[in-house]
Structure 1
Amino acid sequence: MAGSMSRQWELLIYCAFVSVVCWIANIVNSKVPIPYMDEIFHVGQAQRYCDGDYSTWDPKITTPPGLYFSSKPMSLLTACSLDVLRATNIIFTLANVYTMHQIRQHLQHDSVITSLVIVLLPVNFFFTFLYYTDPGCIFCLLLMYLFFLKGQHYLAALSGFAGIFFRQTSVVWVFFVACLTLSKHVERVIKLPIPTSDKFKTLLIDALRDCFGYGVVGVLFLVFLKLNDGITLGDRDAHKAVIHLAQIGNFLLFALLFGAPYILSLSNFIRFLDFATKYPIHILVTSLVMYGLFENFIYVHPYMLADNRHYTFYIWRRFLSRESIRQVMVVVYIYVAFCLYNCVRHMGRVWITFFVLCTMITIVPQQLFEFRYFVWPLLVLRLHFRQKKHQLVAEALAYIALNCITFYIFLFSPFVWRHDPGHIQRFMW
C-alpha cells in the first residue's frame, strides 16, 4: 500500500514537472519567436530534412544529422516550425528523466525526485527549450548506460551508435562502457579455478560475445574518420583539435559550481584536510605540475573573446584571464578532484580510471571553453553520488534559483550590439 502511494506521488510530481516544462516552453517560444544563436543553422537544416532534402548541408554545422532525423516524424503530423522543432528536445528531456530514474533504481533504490533534480542542472535544462543537439545526445548515452548496466550490450552499442549521430564525441563513451564490460569479464575469469589457458579461452569467448557490438561501432567510426578526413563536419577552422589541458581545470570549476552541495560537504572538507596534513609534499608537487601543464597548454578561442553573450566570456575576462587567480585555482581544482573521487570511490578504481580517461579524451581536444562540453561527464558522476536528503534539497533549491535567474536574463534582458543594431542579442550559457 505504501509503495503504491509512493508511486502515485511520484507520478503527480512528474506530471507537475511536465506542466512546468510546457509553461516555460510557451514563454520561450513567445519571447524568442525566431531561431537564436546556433538554432539558425540547426533549424534551417532540420526543415530541409522535413521537406525531404537530404543533399543540402550547411557548412557551418559541425555535428552529424541525428537531431534532424529525430525531428523528421514531426513532418508527418505538422509543419516543422520552430516551436515544433524545439518540442523535439522537450520530448528528449522528459525521456531523460525516466531513463535517469531507471539508472538510479539500478544503482541504488531512489525516487523520481532525484532524477528530476539532476535534469534541472542549469546548463542542461536551459537547452531543453532551444533546438540544440544536447538533450538528444544525452538521451542516447543514458540509454546506452542503462542497457550496459542491465547486461544488454547489443542494445547498449546500438544506443551509443545513435548518440554518435548527435555528437561525434559519443564514441568515447561507447569505448567507456566497452572497457567496463571487458574489465568485468577479466575480474570474473581471474577468479575461476581453472587453468590459465582455459581462462584465456573463456575470456576471449565472453569478450567477443558482449563487446562485439561496441567493436562494430568503433570500426564504423574509424571508417567515418577515414571518409570524412577528420572528426569535424562543416566549419573545421573554428573547431580544430588541440591539447587544451586547462580544460581539466575548467571542468573541475564546472563541477564545483553545480555540485557544491556534495563537494563542499563537511565530511569531504575534513577528509581533504586530513589528506593534506599527511601528504603536504604530494599536494605541493601536484599543484606545481598542474599549474605548469595548464599554463603551457591553454587556449583562448576567438569566439570566447568576441562573443559577450555567453557567461564563460565573463568568467574568463574577469577571473581566469588573470594569472594570479589561475595560480590560486590550482589548489581549488585539487580539492574538487579529491572530493569527486570521494563521491564515487564506491564505484571502484577501474570505473574511476576509465571515467577520468574518457572525460579527458572528450574535453581536452576542445579549444573553446564552453560549459556544454562538461554536462555529460558531470551527469555521469552525479548519477553515482550517494546523497543525503539535505544535499538533494540544497541542490534542488540552487538549481531552481539559477534556472530562474538565467531564464529571466535570457528572456527579459535582451540587448543589441552597436555594430549590429538590427538584431536582438541575449545572454545564455
Structure 2
Amino acid sequence: MGKLVVAAAVAGWAIPIAALVNSVVPEPYMDEIFHVPQAQQYCHGDFLTWDPMITTPPGLYYVSLAYLASFFPVAWMFRVAETFDVLCSTTVLRSTNVIMAMVCAVLFHDLLLCIRPGIGERKATTYAILVALYPVHWFFTFLYYTDVASLAAVLAMYLFCLKKHFWISAMFGAFSILFRQTNVIWIIFFAANGAISYIQDLYPKGNVSHENIEATHQSDKVVSGRDNKTAAQGLRRRRINSPMSKKVVVSESSKLYNSLAEEVWDICLKLWNSKCEVLIAFAPFVFVMVAFVAFIIWNGGIVLGAKEAHVVSPHFAQFLYFGLVSAAALLPWHFTPSRILDLFHLSGKNKTCSFLAVLMGFGLSFIAVHFFSIAHPYLLADNRHYTFYIWRKVIQVNWMMKYVLIPLYVYSWFSIINILGKTQKRVWVLSFVLSVALVLVPAPLIEFRYYTIPFVTLVLHFPVIGNGKLLALGLLYVAADLFTLVMFLFRPFHWEHEPGTQRFMW
C-alpha cells in the first residue's frame, strides 16, 4: 500500500507541473538542446549519429525508446509519419523523467524498509515523498536530463544488492553507467559493503576466541577415544570444516571495534578466509568492472564528448561544497542546538584527538579552498544555474568570503561523519567519504545535481527523526521548489550565445 501512496503522491504533483512547464517552456532548455535532438535521432532509428557535445552514454535515450514503444506500440512498429514526430517531441521525452521520479520514490521506500525494518510503513512513505521533493531532484524531474534515471538505476542496484540478488544488482549497476559514468564508483561502494555484509553472514554470531577453538580441539580428542570412532571422525570433520574452527576466526559483525584499523583487519581476515565464496557471489560486479575498464581504454577516457571542457581536475573544494549543501538540505539533523551540543560533548571526551582532528580539518579545507577552487567557464557563463549566483554573490563577493565559509564546511562534514558513525560501521563511513571524493573531486564544474546520489544515500542511513521535523523540512522543500519553479517559468531572461562554449550568457 505504501508504494501506491508514494507513486500516487509523486504523480499528483509531477504530472500537472510537467504540463505547466511544457506549456510555458516548450522548447529544449539548457542541456536539453543536446539531449532532445540526440534522442530524436534514436527515435528515427539513427543510432550512428552522435552529438560530440554530449558527455554521457545513451542510457536515457534507450529508456525513452522503451517507454515510447510501450505506450505506442503500433505507431512504433509501423513508423506512422504523422505520429512519429509527436512521439519524440520534447514534451513526451520529458515525461520519461516523470515516470523515473515515481520509480525513484518507490525504490527509496523499499530501500528504507530494507535498511530499517522497524521504521514502519507510514514513516517510510513520508520519507520517500520527502526525498521526491528534494529541490534539485524535483527540478530535473521536469527536464530531459540523465540525473533522475541515473538515480533510479543506482537505487535499484542498491536494493537488489541488499536482497542478495547480485546478478540483478550488477545488471542495474551496468545500466546506471549508461546514464552517468561516475556511477561506477557507487557500484564499487555498494558491492564492497555488500561483500562485507555477505562475509559476516558466513560466520556464526557470538564472539569466538582462541580459547574456544582450543576447547573445540580438546573435545575432538575426547570424542576420538570413544568406541564409536566413525561417528567421532564425522563429528570432527564437521567441526574442522566449520568457520568456528579456523585459527583466524573473529567476532560477529555487530562487535564494537576499538579502532578503524582493527575493524579493517577483521574484515580483511574474513574476506581472505571466504575468498572463494565472495568471488563466486560477486563475480557479476567483477564482469561489470572489467567491461568498464575496457570502455575507458577504448574511449581514451571516461568522458564521451566535449572532453576539453570536462578534463579531470583536482577540484577538492567541490568535496567541501557537497558537505555544506547536504547539511543545509538536512537542517533538522545538523543545524540545531542539540546537534551542536552533541558535537561539543563528543569533542570533550578526548580533547587531544578532537583538537588534532579539527586542526587537520581546517588545514585541509584551507588548502582545498585556496589552491583547488576551480571556476569552470560554464559556471561563469550560464546564469540559469543557482551556482552561477552562489559563486558570484557569495563565494566570490570578496577575497575573504571563501575563507569565511571554511568553518561551515568543517562543521558540516564533522556532523555528517558523526551522525553516520552512530548507525554505520567505521569502514562504511570511510568508504562513503572516499566514494563522494572520487565522484566529485575530479569534476571541474560545480553542479548540485552531481550531489543527488550521495545525498539520497545519506538520508537512507541517517537516524530517523520525528514527524514534526519531517513536516518542517517538507515545507521548506516545497517552498524552495515553488521558488525555483517561479524563477524558471516567469523570470524574463535574455540570452546571448557565448562563442566557443556552447553555453548562454545573460
Counterpart Cα distance in 2 of 1:14 and 1:179: 31
Residue number in structure 2 paired with 1:404: 482
Instruction: Find out whether 1:267 has 2:341 as its counterpart.
Output: no
Counterpart Cα distance in 2 of 1:359 and 1:97: 22
Counterpart Cα distance in 2 of 1:270 and 1:362: 32
Report Cα offsets for 1:22-55 as digits up to 9, x if no partner: 1101000000111111101100000111111000
CA contact (8 A) 1:263 1:339 kept: yes
Q: Report sequence identity in percent.
A: 37
Residue number in structure 2 paired with 1:3: none
Moved more, 104-113 or 219-228: 104-113
Q: TM-score normalized by structure 2?
A: 0.78
Residue number in structure 2 paired with 1:338: 414
For residue 11 of structure 1, report the CA deviation from its aligned partner.
4.2
Question: Are residues 188 and 15 of structure 1, via their aligned partners in 2, closer, same or farther at CA, if it must alter by over 3 Å?
Answer: closer
Q: In the comparison of the two structures, how many residue pairs are matched?
A: 416
Counterpart Cα distance in 1 of 2:280 and 2:305: 37
CA contact (8 A) 2:160 2:166 kept: yes
Residue number in structure 2 paired with 1:388: 466
Q: What amino acid sits opposite 1:324 in the alignment?
A: M
Moved more, 279-288 or 170-179: 279-288
Counterpart Cα distance in 2 of 1:419 and 1:171: 34
Unpaired segments ≥5 residues, structure 1? 1-6
Residue number in structure 2 paired with 1:94: 102
Residue number in structure 2 paired with 1:328: 404
Moved more, 69-78 or 85-94: 69-78
Residue number in structure 2 paired with 1:378: 455
Q: What amino acid sits opposite 1:64 in the alignment?
A: P
Instruction: Find out whether 1:216 has 2:287 as its counterpart.
Output: yes
Instruction: Find out whether 1:151 has 2:164 as its counterpart.
Output: yes
Question: Are residues 426 and 36 of structure 1, via their aligned partners in 2, closer, same or farther at CA, if it must alter by over 3 Å?
Answer: farther
CA contact (8 A) 2:271 2:278 kept: no
Counterpart Cα distance in 1 of 2:496 and 2:161: 52
Counterpart Cα distance in 1 of 2:440 and 2:6: 35
CA contact (8 A) 2:57 2:180 kept: yes
Counterpart Cα distance in 2 of 1:64 and 1:220: 14
Unpaired segments ≥5 residues, structure 2? 73-82, 209-242, 250-269, 499-503
CA contact (8 A) 2:381 2:505 kept: no
Greater C-alpha Rg: 2
Secondary structure (helix, strand or coil) at the match of 1:167 reads coil
Secondary structure (helix, strand or coil) at the match of 1:237 reads helix
Residue number in structure 1 paired with 2:213: none
Q: TM-score normalized by structure 1?
A: 0.91
Secondary structure (helix, strand or coil) at the match of 1:283 reads helix
Task: From 112, 115, 139, give the equivalent of 1:104.
Answer: 112
Secondary structure (helix, strand or coil) at the match of 1:54 reads coil
Question: Are residues 29 and 255 of structure 1, via their aligned partners in 2, closer, same or farther at CA, if it must alter by over 3 Å?
Answer: same
Task: From 176, 183, 186, give the equivalent of 1:170.
Answer: 183
Moved more, 264-273 or 183-192: 183-192
Instruction: Find out whether 1:39 has 2:32 as its counterpart.
Output: yes
1:7-22 matched pairs, under 5 angstroms: 7=1, 11=4, 14-22=7-15
Counterpart Cα distance in 2 of 1:87 and 1:115: 20
Secondary structure (helix, strand or coil) at the match of 2:344 reads helix
